[in-house]
A and B are shown apart, each in its own frame.
Chain A
Amino acid sequence: AQSVAQPEDQVNVAEGNPLTVKCTYSVSGNPYLFWYVQYPNRGLQFLLKYITGDNLVKGSYGFEAEFNKSQTSFHLKKPSALVSDSALYFCAVRDFPYGNNRLAFGKGNQVVVIP
């Protein structure tokens, strides 16, 4: 079964500094990887995905993530954090062709950007 680990509970970063949110995964087949962001009392907003191709994926709001097969990681990054980036971030993986299109989510990371 597929699984995702987001090792940190909370990530604190000063506004303007680089932001990194860590994610590692485990699958039997090929990983389809996703990052979502959630604001309070809202559903999940899609940020970016890796299916195949370039290991560096660029997404919404200036976020990017790098797929590293050898380290089974898909860390989310942003060069310069904004206060409005404060939210809950989820990494998710789909195990292709196994898993029936089901996503496994990490526990989530609360990002706090300090003005």
Chain B
Amino acid sequence: GAVVSQHPSWVICKSGTSVKIECRSLDFQATTMFWYRQFPKQSLMLMATSNEGSKATYEQGVEKDKFLINHASLTLSTLTVTSAHPEDSSFYICSAASGSYNEQFFGPGTRLTVL
């Protein structure tokens, strides 16, 4: 149990285009989903926290208009990187949690490369 999927697993896009990444909890209802960014050989940086049906809470320094997050259901959250640029190239990882006391379960990550 507690499986989280991400789609796509990797994506290459041209500078200026928008890319949508999906995060799904497959066998549980995720009241809260988290989006992280990871640079090579570095730790995970929390970008935003989203609760189902409400606006995402962004961490300091993360542009809300750049990284659009939607958490429309208890099993799906999406991250859209708008007008992507090469500096947005990174490994994006989502996680999902149910309830206040449970651990986060992580997706396999999405490798974004912006040319």
Contacts and interface: CB of A to CB of B under 8 A. Distances in A.
**Same complex:** yes
A51 B101 contact: yes
A71 interface: no
Interface string A72-95: 000000000000000010100000
Interface string A91-115: 0000000001111011110100000
Chain B interface, DSSP helix/strand/loop, else mixed: strand
B103 A90 contact: no
Residues of A in contact with B, size category: 20 to 34
Contacts of B34: 102-103
Given A90-B44, A101-B49, A44 B100 contact: no
Interface residues of B, number: 25
A53 interface: no
Contacts of B46: 102-103
B49 A46 contact: no
Contacts of A34: 103
Contact of B111 (A36, A41, A108): A41
Interface pairs A-B: 7 shortest CB-CB: A44-B106, A43-B108, A43-B106, A43-B109, A107-B43, A105-B43, A105-B44
Contacts of A45: 106
